Structure 1
Amino acid sequence: MTSEHVRSPCIRARLHSIADFIGAPKDSVVTFSLNDPRDPRNWHSLWKWTMIAAIMPIDFSVSWGASSFSPVAADFAKDMHISNETATLGLSMYVLGLAFGPMTLAPLSEYFGRRPIYVISYGIFLILLLATTFVHSLGLFLVLRVFSGYFSSVTISNFGGTIADLFHHHNTGPAMGLFLWAATGGSPTGFVLFSFIAQGRSWRDVFRMMLAICFVFWIILTTTLFFLGETRHSIILLRRAHSLRESLGDGAVYVPQEAKHEKPSRLFMTVLIRPFRFLATEAIVQFSALYNGYLYGLSFLFNGAFHLIFGPAGYGFDTIGIGLSFLGICAGITLGLLTNIYQERYYQRRLAESQNQSVTESRVHLAHIASAILPISLFIFAYTAHPGLHPVIPVLTSAFWGWSFYTLILMTLTYTEDAYKTYSASALAGIGLVRNVSGAVFPVVGRRLFLSKGTKLSCIILGAMAVVMVPIPWILARWGKTLRRRSPWASEHLEEDD
């Protein structure tokens, strides 16, 4: 059908009638209208937050896949006849899988939609988790752990995209805050929860208990996605265009250029190459990756370090006692969720004052404080985490680390998303790669550090590393706009309204 045919009153009337029926626009380009109910951004708030609530338990369980292993690492080492240091690979290989999953699962969700990737990928993770409980070979166990991490990383790949599907750009803050609370809180809460489950049980029993819990999460997620439907905008528009073409028997119905599917080979090449280009050339991504790598590495390092500090060789706690020592970090991360309410209000106020012009640098407001509190908390922990002092002191100190951890991670993610917008998926993929590779390496290196140097000197070294990164929020606040202007990707969005 040519444009001249579309101008025909008879054809136009037919097109309008069908378009009205299926909710498509009344021309040859299928887009969302201003208040289109099929646009996920126009869903009722109840349905948006129902979707978020269904995905959040899955987000928690991604980190549980790592932290649930730590309380039973000694039993695993005994069962496999290996050293405790080698057993740490059970944690590291899983986190390594998390590093590479988003590189392919993210483009798959762009091509096939969010819903099938959530359901199928997490379903495969459950099968792999079940298989892990039956293996008796260390090599096979580690291979399964890598692939378990790979397929469980579906929320790392998709949750940010789902939030962008559901909320307009300047309203993503609260949902991103909850997503990150689940992502950062998963490791310490998992250690607390599974330390109770692990008491008196084998590592296989603990993994099977986790499988049962995660299976319930998967059922809830699958049911929610079935009833609420797809959220990926391009998939919705492509389906509507296809329905309109079938109804009209005509092929001249299109979707906007940004909603068209690239060839899978080109899509994957872009997704696989661009994150490395961002890491190599973009200062904003480099700063964010440095902070993310350090913070996540430290988070997973603490899984083993707390066992040395609070376990039989330190304060003498049993498995449950070691798990309870993570409550300080849990409390700090939860406090970060609450203080993010202030951060979000500050951002919205600055946005209103600028008449909806870009205020990306407002995202780093609380990070100025967090960057200083992070090394201070580690130095205090270094001098208080020994049996000569009551354990409540280092546990309370770790709460300040937890708050800084959450606040700084949130700053790097929201700042990067605001800076790159259309290209943020590639920027965040590069950051995520560094983050999870560090998370895989730190536990192995950290165990050697704590065993050879002791808690005090090890924490001083880690604190000194945090001191080096204190200037990052200040650099972004002062020169962030200049860095964005020099970026070929961020500069495209510099003058856009938020």
Structure 2
Amino acid sequence: MEFNRVYFPRRIALALGRPFVFCVGEPIILIFSCYVAVIFIILYTFSAGYVSIFENIYHIDHRKTGICFFGIVVGVLTSALPVPLSMKYTNRSQSFHGHVRSTGHTNRSLLDGMEAYPSISIWSPIISSVVFGFGVVCVFVSAYQYVAAAYEYYPGNAVASLQMFRLTAAGVMAVIADIMYDKLSPHWTLAVQGAIATIFLPVPYLLYIWGRKVWTWSRYAPTGEK
């Protein structure tokens, strides 16, 4: 842009407008935006259910409920261990191995949350939250790695597109998550989330197989070997 003498207003217009163009016209961005948004919806719904699960079902006070969040913290910190290995083997063509495993962890932790009954040990949902924290971070890292690598000339715009979708999803769930727990009960709310997660489970597997073909439909991805 410096060499082409592009004026500042024009730069701003391009920077702000291109993420919306990516969301509409780029298949890779559209698929990953929906996928990451669903994971974020599950994350917010899962987190919002701590009061319903631990205070209403297990009848512990709010201070101990806060301590239960430490399970997710452990999972998030543990996820840092495979990140360097993932980054080492990530390249422009494929980076879904960790992605696939992590999605399975997310589904499993939702199943454990659905099994939260007073007759079942409180450690069941707490341990599942460790697995959940691990899986969510690995999904996010692998998704952003792939998108940034696929759009090497526009990585900021590509990542911004994913951000828009997932933050919009977060805003929606901040409003309706508590309503779902009140109206549907924790078990049915998490059952619905588990069903949604299961529907989207094949996404990384399908992209692992047909990702190169989808990449050829892109207007903004590198035009070299795909």
Q: Distance in 2 between matches of 1:269 and 1:410?
A: 28
| Aligned position for 1:467 | 198
The match for 2:22 is 278
Rounded Cα–Cα distance in structure 1 between residues aligned with 2:142 and 2:44 = 20
Residue in 1 that maps onto 2:155: 424
Distance 1:426 1:392, change over 3 A: same
SS for the counterpart of 2:222 is: helix
SS in 2 for 1:451: helix
Q: Which runs of 5+ in 2 are unaligned?
A: none
When residues 459 and 479 of structure 1 are mapped into structure 2, their CA distance, relative to the original with a 3 A threshold, is same
Higher relative contact order (CA 8 A, sep 6+): 2
Separation in 2, partners of 1:335, 1:258: 43
Residue equivalent to 1:487: 218
1:339 shift after superposition: 1.8
1:364 to 71, 96, 112: 96
Deviation at 1:414? 0.5
Query: Which runs of no fewer than 5 residues in structure 1 stay unpaired?
Result: 1-256, 348-358
1:376 matched to 2:108: yes
Summarize the alignment of residues 259-338 of structure 1 with structure 2, pairs less than 5 Å apart: 262-311=6-55, 313-338=56-81
SS in 1 for 2:80: helix
- 2:87 corresponds in structure 1 to 344
Is 1:388 the counterpart of 2:131? The answer is: no
State the aligned residue count.
226
Shift of 1:299: 2.5
- The CA distance in 1 between the partners of 2:121 and 2:4, in whole Å, is 61
Tell me if the contact between 1:346 and 1:362 (Cα under 8 Å) persists in the aligned partners: no
Q: Is the 8 A contact 1:325 1:395 kept in 2?
A: yes
Output the CA distance in 1 between the equivalents of 2:167 and 2:39. Answer: 10
Aligned residue in 1 for 2:207: 476
Change (3 A) 1:344 1:428: closer
Residues 472 and 259 (structure 1 numbering): CA distance in 2 closer, same or farther, change over 3 Å? Answer: farther
Query: Which residue number corresponds to residue 450 of structure 1?
Result: 181
- Output the CA distance in 2 between the equivalents of 1:483 and 1:294: 21
Cα shift at 1:280? 1.0
Letter in 2 for 1:335: T
Change (3 A) 1:307 1:282: same
Sequence identity (%): 22
Q: 1:345 to 1:275 in 2, by over 3 A?
A: closer
The answer (yes or no) to whether the contact 1:361–1:477 under 8 Å persists in 2 is no
TM-score for the superposition, normalised by structure 1? 0.43
Q: Which amino acid aligns with 1:402?
A: G
CA distance in 1, matches of 2:222, 2:183: 48
Distance 2:7 2:45 in 1: 41
Query: Residue 258 of structure 1: CA displacement?
Result: 5.8
Shift of 1:477: 1.6
Shift of 1:259: 6.8
2: CA distance between counterparts of 1:425 and 1:450?
36
Q: Hey, what's the Cα distance between the residues in 2 that align with 1:318 and 1:260? A: 63
> Which whole-Å CA distance do the structure 1 matches of 2:163 and 2:142 have between them?
14
Q: Judge conservation of contact 2:46–2:190 (CA < 8 Å) in 1.
A: no
Q: Write out per-residue CA displacement over residues 455-478 of structure 1, whole angstroms, 9 at most, x where no aligned residue.
A: 111111101111111112112222
CA distance in 1, matches of 2:12, 2:196: 35
The residue type paired with residue 31 of structure 2 is F
Q: Is the 8 A contact 2:75 2:130 kept in 1?
A: yes
Is the Cα–Cα contact under 8 Å of residues 44 and 177 in structure 2 kept in the other structure? no
Shift of 1:369: 1.3
Q: TM-score, normalization: structure 2?
A: 0.91
AA in 2 matched with 1:481: R
Alignment match, 1:180: none
Cα distance in 2, alignment partners of residues 395 and 263 from structure 1: 54
